[in-house]
């Protein structure tokens, strides 16, 4: 298997790469095999080879919604570098490489007076990860604006899939469920007043700075998913409110702590381990279940 991957990827294949260097939590042991490439043919070939060889596969974008085991990942990590941005304002579309940081894409669109994605101003992670996980905030999601996604399948085939076939729902899509890797996406945008867009984007960024840790702090963002509404058509209930009510902000396990301004965010305050973060998250969820009878579901994905 390793020789086959090496024949496909060449120097793009590395071994025993510490995943703590590639995740926003700064936690995680080594990946046995690690492929990083901007060539879709290399990525597709490695993915197909890994599937044929029965290897475990991890797609890695910005590493912002991920908690990797201290033991690492015994499989193949594929980290694509799909950049490239095409603006087609006359058609109301923008095509973006999946590896572009979502926040950078939003800034670019806002600066060009193209509206539709300003809700995601300041959002961490990559465009591909945001689409695959249907990331969202302020009442909107990336799936709402998607026209199509170009994906690489487990067979190493490149396919364009229309939005309606991607099964978008709260924080998930068929992209992740089917084990596809996003390479490019197309969003619907519209021309708008640049000043108005800047005001909205700056407001969202200010809210994020007020409620979320600074970019320099080691965290994966909201740890648990928000809860379904109590009534059909209602708003989802914030998991952070329940966690706040049970005193989660005062909790810690080793260097794994709860962010002082948001009870649904765990921070690596120094040299936290994945085991410490998992223990803390488990204790937080247990308090909520004991008090409210509600079972919290992690939004952060544990791997390894």
Active-site residues, by number, are 171, 222, 299
Which residues is 37 bridged to in the sheet? 80
Phi, psi for residue 60 in degrees, rounded to 5:
-125, 120
DSSP code, position 52: H
> Can you tell me the distance from the alpha carbon of 176 to that of 174, in angstroms, rounded to the nearest whole number?
5
Whole-number CA gyration radius for the chain: 20
Instruction: Estimate the share of the chain in helix, then strand, then coil, as percent rounded to the nearest 5.
Output: 35, 30, 35
Nearest CA among 40, 35, 38 for reference residue 5: 35
SS3 38: coil
First to last CA, the chain: 20
SS3 294: coil
Spatial contact of 181 and 151, defined as CB atoms under 8 Å apart: yes
Spatial contact of 300 and 67, defined as CB atoms under 8 Å apart: yes
The length of the chain in residues reads: 304
Phi, psi for residue 15 in degrees, rounded to 5:
-120, 150
Question: Which residues lie closer than 8 Å to 185 by C-beta, 6 or more apart?
Answer: 95, 96, 98, 127, 128, 131, 146, 148, 149, 150
Question: Which residues lie closer than 8 Å to 190 by C-beta, 6 or more apart?
Answer: 92, 114, 115, 116
């Amino acid at each position: 298997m390793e020789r086959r991957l090496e024949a496909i990827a060449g120097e793009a294949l590395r071994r025993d790469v510490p995943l703590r260097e590639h995740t926003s939590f700064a936690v995680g042991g080594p990946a046995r095999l690690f492929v990083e490439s901007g060539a879709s043919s290399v990525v597709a070939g490695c993915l197909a080879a890994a599937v044929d060889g029965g290897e475990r596969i991890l797609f890695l974008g910005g590493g912002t919604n991920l908690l990797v085991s201290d033991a690492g990942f015994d499989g193949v990590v594929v980290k694509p570098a799909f950049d490239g941005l095409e603006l087609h304002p006359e058609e109301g579309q923008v095509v973006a490489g999946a590896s572009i940081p979502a926040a950078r894409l939003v800034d670019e669109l806002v600066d060009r007076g193209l509206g539709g994605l300003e809700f995601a101003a300041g959002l961490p992670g990559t465009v591909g990860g945001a689409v695959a996980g249907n990331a969202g905030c302020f009442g909107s999601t990336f799936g709402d604006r998607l026209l199509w996604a170009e994906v690489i399948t487990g067979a190493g085939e490149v396919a364009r899939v229309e939005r309606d076939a991607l099964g978008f729902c709260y924080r998930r899509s068929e992209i992740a469920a089917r084990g596809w890797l996003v390479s490019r996406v197309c969003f619907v945008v519209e021309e708008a007043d640049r000043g108005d867009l800047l005001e909205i984007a700056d407001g969202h960024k200010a809210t994020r700075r007020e409620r979320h840790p600074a970019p320099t702090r080691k965290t994966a963002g909201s740890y648990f998913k928000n809860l379904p509404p109590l009534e059909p058509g209602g708003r989802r209930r914030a998991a952070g409110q329940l966690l706040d009510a049970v005193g989660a902000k005062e909790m810690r396990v080793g260097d794994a702590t709860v962010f002082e301004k948001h009870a649904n965010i765990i921070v690596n305050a120094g040299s936290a381990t994945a085991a410490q973060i998992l223990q803390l998250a488990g204790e937080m969820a247990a308090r909520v279940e004991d008090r409210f009878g509600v079972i919290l579901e992690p939004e952060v994905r544990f791997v390894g």
